Structure 1
Amino acid sequence: MAEVRLDQPVAALRGVGAALAGKLAGLGIERVLDLLLHLPLRYEDRSRCQRVATLRHNESAQMALRVLETDTRNAPRRQLRVFCEDADGAPFLLRFFHFRNAQAQGFVAGAGIRVWGVARMGPGGWEMVHPEYRAFPDIAQVRPEGGVRPVYPLAAGLTQARLRGLVTDALSRAGGDPALGAGEVAALSPPTALDALRIVHQPPDADSAAALMAESHPARRRLIREELLAHQLSQRIVKRRMRSLDAPALDGIDDARDALEGQLGFAMTGAQRRVIGEIGADMARTRPMLRLLQGDVGSGKTVVAASAMLAAVRAGWQAAMMAPTELLAEQHARTLGDWLAPLGVSVVLLTGRLRKREREERRRAIAGHEVQIAVGTHAVFQDDTRFARLGLVIVDEQHRFGVRQRLALRDKGPDGLRPHQLVMTATPIPRTLAQTAYADLDLSVIDELPPGRTPVVTAAVANGRRDEVIERLRTAVAAGRQAYWVCTLIEDSEQLAAQAAEEAAGLLEAALPGVRIGLAHGRLSAADKQRVMREFKESQLQVLVATTVIEVGVDVPNASIMVIENAERLGLSQLHQLRGRVGRGHTESQCLLMYQPPLGESAGERLDVMRRTHSGFEIAEKDLALRGPGELLGRRQTGVVALKIADPVRDAEELPELADIAERLLDDSAERERVHALVARWVGDVQRYGHV
């Protein structure tokens, strides 16, 4: 039997043609290795037959039964009923709604039958609907099908049997692949990767399958540790390569901070000063800074960024700031201009909204060093935007950009010098997750809010009290305040039963005559959406009805009420981000979490956390535990490394040891082949996370 390599296309396996390869690609399976890393969701124990007395409602079971009699009914719908009993004489019913007469005749009274399906307690007792089955001459001759079978995630056109066959073929032919042996790391302990994969796909018995599902089996732990190690290695490779490059030494951040503080007219917090010191120490070196700045909503990240940019400008260099939306870029450009223009620093906005001539003029000014700070969206990092002396890159809301987008600006430095990089996020990321997803970045945290910030009063309100909520809006608007009304959907959905944004706007217009109400959602063109949000910021609108497009939005200090419909459908971090849109002025603000009762346990827990705390980090830890890293950070399109079986919360205790192992492997040149084999196995080409 010819061996296959793990990096070969899955078409190298028997029976995989173009059509089947296309279906597998829908599951992310393109290589033989991808197939082996497509792990089972659960297992079916077909090693024994159960009796009726041991069944559990809505759980799969294999049973040995004796056929008693059959009948066919046509009401309320056509069905074949097969009345059976187990060896104890306990009754059991099989139902078939799609059958042929020949099939009905195959059930012979007194014969034995082995069935597999989901057992449930029906109106007349235990039953199965459309089970798999096989006939035997007598119940005494019924034998279990044997073994424990994996159950995989499927795509349209694929069956469990087909996928199991492909995995079996791959496991039997991949033993000689050098990449498997080359990637073995002694510190991970046995079994080997290939042996672990064999056990995971083909557990020897039911106890092993149960241990695999409980994440306690050595084979599963081996793969989890190996995956975490591979990601630690991949991110550290990027970090080391960047550290090996040259960057301009930008001194003087303390003087820049003091000058900015004098201009602002208010004192920075201790946390801001500490973080500025960490950033300044990095910028003063001749190696590129790679730092992630975390700060809760309203913690003053922009002030920190402005200090760093002012230091870069005073050292004779330029700075660029990238934001995910045009409106946020406009806000940053306006704020930085107000703060820095009196200090002699020029700030220019660069977005796709500019007319071509104006955009080209600004690009020429940037290229000629007539402009010291450029703020914009994706237009900043396009190929035709060139900087004279780019020394610092700041990326706001890191999770909205892919890693490639973030790293594209680093090639815009002069004479082979790479600019320093500071990426910021208002989405608090638990340290355990940051160690996994952002291991290529050093971490700074602003863990203190500026004095004078009034906490937002948060309350959960049932949908039945909608009139009371509208009355609060009426009072706030009459007092000259503004309000957000956030809906989770744009149009009606039977599944979610959520209030549509357009319907909500209509209801509010009817309930609040004379109030200027705007509507913003994802179906609007970018220009219309920006126009509505700009009108709200400029107080032309009093109430903004929107979907979650305003999660990362503009600063409107006059907005004092945030209403979130169907709040039980959103994650904690998203709720926290939305709440952060209010409470930016000196008036007490409110966040009203409207929900549809009855609340499930998880939804009730989320709303309770929102009422109890304003700490973004406490909220993020809880959100990570409830929803997992994929939902908190975004999936692959956001540039976050996607984990297949490891979990940074559950497996957090593994990370310190694996980080040490990763550093030792990277320090040992003899381990180079092993390291790259391990990274290729789990991550792919590390270059896609940053070609350096």
Structure 2
Amino acid sequence: MSFSKRNLTELRQISDKRAQLFAKLNVNNLEDLLFFFPRAYQDMSKTTPLHLVVDGETTTIKAKIAKTPTLQRRGKLSWIKTALTDGATVISAIWFNQPWLMQKLQPDNIFYFYGKIQNQGRSFSIQNPQIMTEQEYSDNKIQAIYPLTKGLTQNLIRSAVKQTIDLYDNYLYDPIPDEIRKKAKLSTLEFALEKIHLPNNQQECLIARERLAFEELFLIRVALYLLKKKRVEDAKAYSLLIEDTVKNEQIIEQMNQLRANLPFELTNAQVMAVNDLLNDLKKSNPMNRLLQGDVGSGKTLVAAFAIAYVKFCGGQSLFMAPTSILAKQHYQTLKDFFAEYPFEIRLLTGQTKSKVRAEILESTANGKIELIVGTHAVLEQDLKFENLVLTITDEQHRFGVKQRAVLGETDNKGYTPHRLVISATPIPRTLGLILYGDLDLTLMRELPKGRKKIQTYTATSQDETRIYTLMRKAVERNEQVYVVCPLIEDSDELDDVDSVESVYKQLSQNIFPDLNIGLLHGSLK
């Protein structure tokens, strides 16, 4: 019978009541338990001689019971005290509320003890240490630590997991083909499932984690590939491959003129990115492309060339930004870029007045407006396009799932818009393929000539004085300083996170009262 259909109550010590506690951890059957991975590990493999123990350290010692233990009680509290020795040094040991240990702690018996060392004057003690025989220690040098819920203990979960592994008979299908697994030098699924729970050493644990992590990402990648394949097969887009030779030559001339009018040369990365977009726009399947590059690499300019091509072919475009401030910035940039062309561009945000909004909606529906730049406000149901060919989303991850889904909806003619996603978030290629697996990837690694390289440094709250000094020196060089905060206002739930308003008050009143400091955030009118 499949592990997914076998109940936890088949295991020793697991009653119906305890099975309900496991269910709180989303563990409902033996297969769930097999994939209920540890959150950490307790490594007891290294032993410390008694004369080298350090106050405050949690360590493993091997010692003999040096004297008969004593049991004392006070109300509901009980404690056992004894002495441990390794033949050269003696330390004391104490256990609270575990009177049953009296039978185990017989003089001259040798055990392994794992616990926290405390210094008491000239002597040391170990409190509530775990006790293990030679065999128990050999089998449990590294112990898994699992997420818990009230009523379950680590020992109970470890016992249940051990029983499940003993019952496991390689019944699960390995989703990674042998050829790929061997090429990636990964372990078998059976080995990984055993060693993620019961490693004999840290190396086995790492091998198991690597194998299981690879499998998780592999399955995500395969799923995204299938989604992409289905999208390519099922969806159709407006193909901007112009068959009319005369019109095609006109469009090419317009694109060349647009480039010639630039006061600077495009970088090689920009040229390659523009080519990627134009090639996608000429296909009958919807473009789904991620354009990733550092701040200042010229991503907006590349997007502008795609917008221009759509316009020259008679289509409409939509450019979405996550905030109204960023939307206004893109709007102005694109207005300046197309200043010499008869190009109807409008800005639409949540702050757009009703009368103006109504006019924009009407002009967009009849095709007079060729480009809308805006925020999530453009996704409301009353915004209709006559011929929406291209959607561009800046920093897509900052939009909600439903908002992103709207961008991929087909129009009343059954066409899906081409989709371009722009991001300045540094993403390694392999990670990008995982996070954006349903998108083709264009990376812009080259900055325009004369653009200074951005230098990034990390600092902690202990570096505040040094940071303020650097800020002061920057201002003295007639440079500007921007301080970005995650919150607008202070939050009771996030009391350790700085807000724009609190930082502004601190800087303007206490740190730099002599400087002209401005406050800017999305809620300002």
Looking at structure 1, the residues matched to 517 and 442 of structure 2 have their Cα atoms a distance apart, in angstroms, of 40
Per-residue Cα deviation, 1:605-632 (whole angstroms, up to 9, x for no partner): xxxxxxxxxxxxxxxxxxxxxxxxxxxx
Structure 1 37/330 Cα, relative in aligned 2: closer, same or farther at 3 Å?
A: farther
Whole-angstrom CA distance in 2 between matches of 1:307 and 1:183: 43
- State how far apart, in whole Å, the 1-side matches of 2:497 and 2:367 are: 52
- Pick the aligned partner of 1:167 from 161, 165, 185: 161
Distance (Å, rounded) in 2 between the aligned partners of 1:423 and 1:391: 14
Aligned equivalent of 2:115: 118
- Whether 1:183 aligns to 2:184 is no
1:36-435 equivalences under 5 Å are 36-44=34-42, 52=49, 58-61=57-60, 63-68=62-67, 82-86=81-85, 88=87, 90-96=89-95, 98-99=96-97, 110=107, 112=109, 114=111, 116-120=113-117, 122=119, 124=122, 127-133=125-131, 144=136, 147-148=139-140, 150-157=143-150, 158-168=152-162, 171=165, 180-181=172-173, 183=175, 185-187=177-179, 188-189=181-182, 192-194=188-190, 196-203=192-199, 206=200, 209-215=201-207, 219-220=208-209, 222-244=211-233, 245-251=235-241, 255=253, 257-340=255-338, 342-355=340-353, 358-401=356-399, 405-435=403-433
In the superposition, the TM-score normalised over structure 2's length comes to: 0.76
Higher relative contact order structure (alpha carbons within 8 Å, sequence separation ≥ 6):
1
Assess, with a 3 A threshold, how the Cα gap between structure 1 residues 322 and 151 changes in structure 2: closer, same or farther.
same
Report if the CA contact (8 A) 2:33-2:161 is conserved: yes
Within 5 A, what are the aligned runs for 1:481-496?
482-486=480-484
Aligned CA distance change for structure 1 residues 350 and 174 (closer, same or farther; 3 Å): farther
What runs of 5+ residues in structure 1 fail to find an aligned partner? Answer: 135-140, 532-692
Structure 1: which amino acid aligns with 2:523?
A
Contact kept? 2:21, 2:149, Cα under 8 Å: no
Partner in structure 1 of residue 245 of structure 2: none
Q: Which amino acid aligns with 1:282?
A: D
Report matched runs for 1:538-617 at 5 Å: none
Match of residue 509 from structure 1: 509
Partners of 1:72 and 1:492 in 2: how far apart?
Answer: 51
In structure 1, C-alpha distance between the alignment counterparts of 2:117 and 2:412, rounded to whole Å: 70
- Residues 67, 82 of structure 1: 8 Å contact kept: no
Query: Contact 2:112/2:134 (CA < 8 Å) preserved in 1?
Result: no
Q: Show the counterpart of 1:565.
A: none
Aligned residue identity for 1:527: S
Shift of 1:491: 6.4
Higher deviation after alignment, 331-340 or 86-95: 86-95
Using a 3 Å threshold, how does the CA distance of structure 1 residues 85 and 182 change in structure 2: closer, same or farther?
A: closer
Superposed displacement of residue 308, structure 1: 0.3
Tell me whether 110-119 or 229-238 shows the greater mean CA deviation: 110-119
Give the distance between the partners of 1:30 and 1:109, measured in 2 at CA. Answer: 42
Q: Is the 8 A contact 1:67 1:109 kept in 2?
A: no
1:16–1:202 distance in 2 versus 1, CA, 3 Å: farther
Partner-residue secondary structure (3-state), 2:482: strand
Rg: which structure is higher? Answer: 2
Query: 1:311 Cα deviation (Å)?
Result: 0.7
Distance apart, 1:113 and its partner CA: 6.8
Consecutive unaligned residues in structure 2, runs of 5 or more:
242-247
Hey, what does 1:633 align to over in structure 2? none
Deviation at 1:363, TM superposition (A): 3.3
- Cα offset for 1:103? 7.5
For the residues of structure 1 that align with 2:153 and 2:101, how far apart are their CA atoms?
A: 26
C-alpha distance 181-144 of structure 1, shift in aligned 2 (>3 A): closer
Aligned to 1:472: 473
SS in 2 for 1:517: coil
Using the size of structure 1 for normalisation, the TM-score is 0.60
Q: Match for 1:230: what amino acid?
A: L
Instruction: Tell me what 2:244 maps to.
Output: none
Q: Is the CA contact 2:471–2:481 (under 8 Å) kept in the aligned structure 1?
A: no
Q: 1:306, CA displacement in angstroms?
A: 0.7
Q: Deviations over 1:308-360 (max 9, x none)?
A: 01111221222112212121112112222232353222222232333455445
Cα gap change, 1:468/1:164 in structure 2, threshold over 3 Å: closer, same or farther?
Answer: closer
CA drift of 1:282 comes to 1.6
Task: Judge conservation of contact 2:92–2:124 (CA < 8 Å) in 1.
Answer: yes
> 2:34·2:161 contact (CA, 8 Å) conserved in 1?
yes
The CA deviation string for residues 184-242 of structure 1, in whole angstroms up to 9 with x for no partner, is 62322586534531343234xx2xx3322343xxx555434433421221221122122
Tell me how far 1:302 sits from its aligned partner.
Answer: 0.6
The answer to whether the 8 A contact 1:113-1:133 is kept is: no
SS in structure 2 opposite 1:277?
helix
What is the alpha-carbon distance in structure 2 between the residues aligned to residue 422 and residue 451 of structure 1?
25
Contact 1:391 1:420 in 2 (8 A): yes
Query: CA separation in 1, counterparts of 2:361 and 2:79?
Result: 76
Q: Show the counterpart of 1:654.
A: none
Q: Distance in 1 between matches of 2:453 and 2:190?
A: 54
Contact kept? 2:61, 2:112, Cα under 8 Å: yes
Alpha-carbon separation, structure 2, partners of 1:125 and 1:19: 46
Q: Write the distance in 1 (CA, Å) between the matches of 2:425 and 2:341.
A: 31
Distance in 2 of aligned mates of 1:54 and 1:254 = 83
Task: Evaluate the alpha carbon distance shift between residue 99 and residue 66 of structure 1 in structure 2; reply closer, same or farther with a 3 A threshold.
Answer: same
Q: Work out whether residues 82 and 93 of structure 1, in 8 Å CA contact, stay in contact via their aligned partners in 2.
A: yes
Q: 8 Å contact 1:366–1:387 — kept in the other structure?
A: yes
Q: CA RMSD for the aligned pairs?
A: 4.4
Distance 2:104 2:360 in 1: 82
Q: Is the 8 A contact 1:67 1:107 kept in 2?
A: no
Q: Secondary structure at the match of 1:24?
A: coil
Letter in 2 for 1:185: P
Aligned pairs, number: 494
